[in-house]
Amino acid sequence: MPYRIRPATRADAAEILAMIRELAAFEREPDAVVATVADLERDGWGDGTGTGPVFEALMAVDAEETPVGFVLFFHNYSTWRGRPGIYVEDLYVRPQARGEGVGALLLQAVARIAVARRCARIDLWVLDWNPARDFYHRLGFEDLTEWRPYRLETAAIEALAERRAGPAEH
């Protein structure tokens, strides 16, 4: 079946959220999604107050225009290269379209955007148990075992923001 990749629009927000929930269930966190359609609309297409989008998304659709997958990404920056990069937050293909090249088409579209925008790299994270790791390796992604991910979440961000400046912490 032929698939087409197109930019996501505000009208796709509900479908994107549905696929985010499907992805969360696949990643064994079915109750972790708290995002809403309004969140996606605001952050993907702006809120009308001059605040621009903070992410972009592409949709994979079949011949009947039914969404079968999406990729959501945003820019980061490499200070060493002096160039932007792209961080892929989510790549998801619905089960009925897996194994048909849809994921590769979505990442190829992101790669074309990266080339056009002179990006130095494309980054993404993959759970260590996810069988898609082989897929990413086949596309040329490297496993960065020497880099360790760190994260602050909401409560820790707020605590750090309120912390008083003091002696350097070791």
In one-letter notation, the amino acid at residue 43 is D
* Cβ-Cβ contacts under 8 Å for 40 (sequence gap 6 or more): 13, 16, 17
DSSP secondary structure letter of residue 120 = S
pLDDT over 90 percentage in the chain = 73
pLDDT above 90: residue 50 = no
Residue type for position 106: L
For residues 45 and 64, the answer to whether their CB atoms sit within 8 Å is no
> In the chain, what are the domains?
4-162 (3.40.630.30)
User: What is the mean predicted confidence (pLDDT) over 76-85?
Assistant: 96
- Confidence band (pLDDT; 50, 70, 90) for 147? confident
Distance between CA 145 and CA 134 in Å, rounded? 15
136 is an active site residue: yes
What is the C-alpha to C-alpha distance for residues 112 and 118, in angstroms, rounded to an integer? 10
Q: Which pLDDT band holds residue 111 (cuts at 50, 70, 90)?
A: very high
Between CA 147 and CA 170 the distance in angstroms is 20
The one catalytic residue among 77, 92, 136, 150:
136
Average pLDDT over residues 51-73: 96
Per-residue tokens: 23: 């992805």
The mean pLDDT of 72-99, rounded to a whole number, is 96
> 3-class secondary structure for 8-34?
CCHHHHHHHHHHHHHHHHHCCCCCCCC
Cα–Cα distance between 17 and 150 in angstroms, integer?
Answer: 26
Write down the pTM of the prediction. Answer: 0.89
Lowest mean pLDDT among 2-16, 22-36, 90-104, 132-146: 132-146
